[in-house]
Amino acid sequence: MKTEQKYFELLILITNDVELSTFLSKEMMESENDLRSFFEKHKAAHFTNRGISSAENPDLALCYLLDKLEENEFLCELDYKSDSEELNYAIRLLSKGIITKDLFSEEDEEDAHGMFELIFDAEDYLEELDLAIVEFPIESDSHPISVVPLEKLEAVQTLIDELF
């Protein structure tokens, strides 16, 4: 069973926001303890628009968490198709002001074979700024990413792997 402390550790590493991390940790534990009730509670706001129609969906709790992180500008969910404008926006937003210029052009987009390749290319540039991209595993055609300090990357990735 996953623990509230592990969720909190992951969330505090990503957000550096104690109040949000505490709230979301409790929500994630609620999903573990009573998934059906959790589904009914959040169905209209978080699951209907994702096409999730039952509590049996294995990504239910993760989708809720991704939505909440995105609402608070700690995550962006990028489409699988190459889109330099979308990635540039996400990196500027998630870097919290560290990156203010576009990293990719339309030519980069044309050369890439999907968003995954653009994200991979962004990692090299971000590493120079002591930042890293983490991606959440979800059965979807999207890439949910967050940007964290490079020193936190290993801890964040370990917790993501353990929790999801």
Q: Is 157 within a domain?
A: no
- What pLDDT score was predicted for residue 1? 52
- What pLDDT score was predicted for residue 22? 97
What digits encode the pLDDT tens for the residues 25-44?
999 999 999 999 999 999 88
Q: Domain containing 47: what range? A: 4-74
Whether the model clears a pTM of 0.85, i.e. scores above it, the answer is yes
- Average pLDDT along the chain, 164 residues, taken 10 residues at a time: 89 98 96 92 84 84 95 93 87 93 81 81 90 91 93 97 93
Residues 57 and 80 in one domain: no
Number of domains in the chain: 2
By CB neighbour count within 10 A (0-12 exposed, 13-18 middle, 19+ buried), where does 44 fall? Answer: exposed
Residues 65 and 83 in one domain: no
Smallest CA-to-CA distance from 86 within 63, 120, 62, 109 is with 109
> How many angstroms separate the CA atoms of 145 and 152, rounded?
15
Question: CB–CB of 134/98 below 8 Å?
Answer: no
> How many angstroms separate the CA atoms of 63 and 80, rounded?
17
Question: CB–CB of 131/151 below 8 Å?
Answer: no
Residues 68 and 117 in one domain: no
Instruction: Fill in the DSSP letter of residue 2.
Output: -
- What pLDDT score was predicted for residue 11? 98
Say how many C-beta atoms besides its own lie within 10 A of residue 10's C-beta. 25
Q: Is 110 within a domain?
A: yes
Residues 18 and 8 in one domain: yes
